[in-house]
Structure formats: structure tokens, C-alpha cells
A and B are shown apart, each in its own frame.
Chain A
Amino acid sequence: MNRTFLIQAMLCLSFTFGMVAPGFAGDPQDQLRETTDKVLSVLSDPDLKSPSKAKERRERIQKIVDERFDWEEMARRSLARHWPQRTPEEKREFVPLFKTLLERVYADKVEGYSWNKILYEGETIDGDYAAIKVKIFTAKDQTLHVEYRTWKKGSHWLIYDFSVEGVGLVNNYRTQFNEIILKSSYQELVKRLKTKSVQN
């Protein structure tokens, strides 16, 4: 009698955990959707719409985005061959500079766009890597094809690259950084990134 109960209990437990485990890890697409929804809710929050709240709004978005983006991996991939040649200090300095550059370029775009609808077109998972295709409909009835590239870190799928209309971010910066470093030096690249972040 006791044994049957034990077996039943064990079966129940394993069933529950079996059900919970995959749900806990979360699909890459679901995690991305969660982040996007959070950003959209901040953007549409009427309390944050006034110009005086612009800073707070941007900070909130930054915090949400930080959780989903792997800035270091993005910086590493963008520097490509030049990354292993950098000292740990240089790497530590470079990642925030790179992040500021991206924020400067994309923050206005994200805040300025009137997102009408976002359609998730599906994900392709390949081991610890996944690509998620998204179609964004803007208020002007335009469609933008965006593809996010993510990789798994623990239970999180973090974005390390994305492309808009087939033009990839990492590839773009990889070519530009490589050109600057080969023409002048890494120090020159850092100098340029610094002046750009000051301009912000």
C-alpha cells in the first residue's frame, strides 16, 4: 500500500518537473517577446511620455534591453580578429564604449518608431544558438524584416547580433573597425568611439 503511494508520488513529481523544466528555460522567441513587450509597455506608458521624463524612459528601456543583449559577445564579434590581441583592460574599456555607440544609434530609432504590430515568424534552434525572425509593421504601413541571433547562457537566450533587412550589425561594425584598425590603430578607434560618445 505504502509502496504504491510512493511510486504514485514519485511519478507525480517527475511528471511535474518534466513539465516545468522546458517551460522554465523558455523558448528564445518567448524570451525575446517578453523583452519586446516590456519595452513597448514603457514606450506606451502615458506617464513617461512628457519630455521631462525622457531620461527616465530611456534608462528604463536600457535596463530592459541590457538583460537581453550580450554586449560583450557583440563587441567581441565586432572586433573579431583584433579582440584576442587586446589586453583585459582594453576589453573592459571597449565593451561600454561599443554599447554607448549602439545606444546612440538605435535609441532614437526605437523611441521614435511608431510600432504598429510585431509578427514573430518563428525561430530556428541549432544547439545553443537560435535565430528568431521578426516582422515589424510601422505606422506608415512599412514592413521591416529583423532577424535576431541569440545564444544560450544558462537559461537565458541572449542576443549577440541582429540584422535589419538583411544588413547585419556585427558584420557592419566588423568591417568598419577592421578598416580603422588596419589604416591607423586600435587607439584611434577607441579615440573615435570616445568622441562619438561625448557628442551624445
Chain B
Amino acid sequence: MKKFNIELAVGLFVLAGILSLGYLSVKLGKMEIVGGKGYEIYAIFSNSGGVKEGSNIVIAGVEVGRVKSIVLENYQARAVLSLPRDVKIQEDAIAAIKTKGLVGEKYIEITPGGSDKFISPGGKIRETQPSVDLEELISKLVFEKI
């Protein structure tokens, strides 16, 4: 009887361990298991500047969502943005590709608009700004000075 109890305890312990590992990998990998609780909209950028699947979507510096996919369409970048349902995006909001610091990772920043119309799931953020090529801008500045 006592032996059985130990075996049960070990079994439960291992099971709990496996579950925690599973939970950790889902959390760390930022995966969504049951479709998530959000909705998706898309945006077209003339230059994605290297935004990747899983890149952050930020409003007022707060991470609100992730880039679900980014593909080439008509020689432009089409990014699908996954957002939580309670974060509504106005029709005149602007999505801009930004860089953390000077050489940091790329993310998409949404500046909320003032329209009373919201983009419905599957809709498009019309106003976008491509990634700004700092190197190119600096070189332009330099050459103008000469």
C-alpha cells in the first residue's frame, strides 16, 4: 500500500512537471493554442525593414499584439497583425515600422486615430509608413552639406 502511494506521488510529480514544461514552452514561444482571443487585420508596407513573424505591435509603447505573418504581395510587404479583441483600431490609425534604438529589432507602432469608425476583423489599416532607412537619410544629409 505504501509503495503504491510513492509510485502515485512520483507519477503525479512527473505529470505536473510535463504540464509545466508544456505551459512554459507555450508561454515562452508566445504560441496560441485555441486560436487566441483576438482578431486580425492587415497592412501593406512598401518596405517592411525586416519585420518578422512574431514581431511586436505597440500602441503608446505598450505591446498589444504580434505580427502573425508577413509575405510579399505585389512587391510590397503584407503583414497580418493579430490583436486582442478589446484593442480597437480606428480607421484613420497609422501603422508605422519602427526600430528599437538605432540598430534594435523592428516593430510595428500603431498611432490611434480620431475616427469613430473602427477597422473590422479582416480589414485593412490603410495608413502605413515604411521602415525609415537611417543610413540612407544620413548619407543624404552628409551629401547636402558638401
Q: Which A residues are within 8 Å of any B CB, using their own CB?
A: 76-77, 79-84, 126, 129, 140, 142, 147, 149, 161, 163, 165-168, 170-171, 174-175, 178
0/1 string, B127-146, CB within 8 A of A gives 1:
10111110011001001100
Q: Is B52 an interface residue (CB 8 A)?
A: no
| Residue of A76, A149, A166, A167 touching B127 (CB-CB under 8 A) | A149
Question: Is B68 among interface residues, defined by CB-CB distance under 8 A?
Answer: no
Q: Is the CB of A171 within 8 A of B114?
A: no
Besides A83-B114, A166-B131, 20 other A-B contacts (C-beta < 8 A): A77-B92, A80-B90, A80-B92, A80-B113, A80-B114, A84-B116, A140-B144, A142-B143, A163-B129, A165-B132, A165-B137, A165-B140, A166-B46, A166-B129, A166-B130, A168-B94, A168-B127, A170-B127, A171-B94, A171-B111
Does B54 count as interface, using CB distance less than 8 angstroms?
no
What is the CB-to-nearest-CB distance from B43 to chain A, in angstroms, rounded to a whole number? 12
Would A82 and B114 count as touching, CB distance under 8 A?
yes
CB within 8 A of B111: which of A82, A126, A166, A175? Answer: A175
Question: CA of A76 to CA of B137 in the docked complex: distance in angstroms?
Answer: 29
Measuring CB to CB, which residues of chain B are less than 8 angstroms from any residue of chain A?
46-47, 90, 92, 94, 96, 111-114, 116, 126-127, 129-133, 136-137, 140, 143-144
**Would A79 and B114 count as touching, CB distance under 8 A?**
yes
Whether A171 and B116, one on each chain, are in contact in the complex, defined by CB atoms closer than 8 angstroms, is no
Q: Could you tell me if B111 and A174 are in contact, using CB atoms closer than 8 angstroms?
A: yes
Q: Taking each of A79, A80, A81, A170, which has the highest tally of chain B beta carbons within 10 Å of its own beta carbon?
A: A80
15 A-B pairs with C-beta separation under 8 A: A76-B114, A79-B114, A80-B92, A84-B116, A140-B144, A142-B140, A142-B144, A166-B47, A166-B129, A166-B130, A166-B131, A168-B127, A168-B129, A170-B94, A171-B96
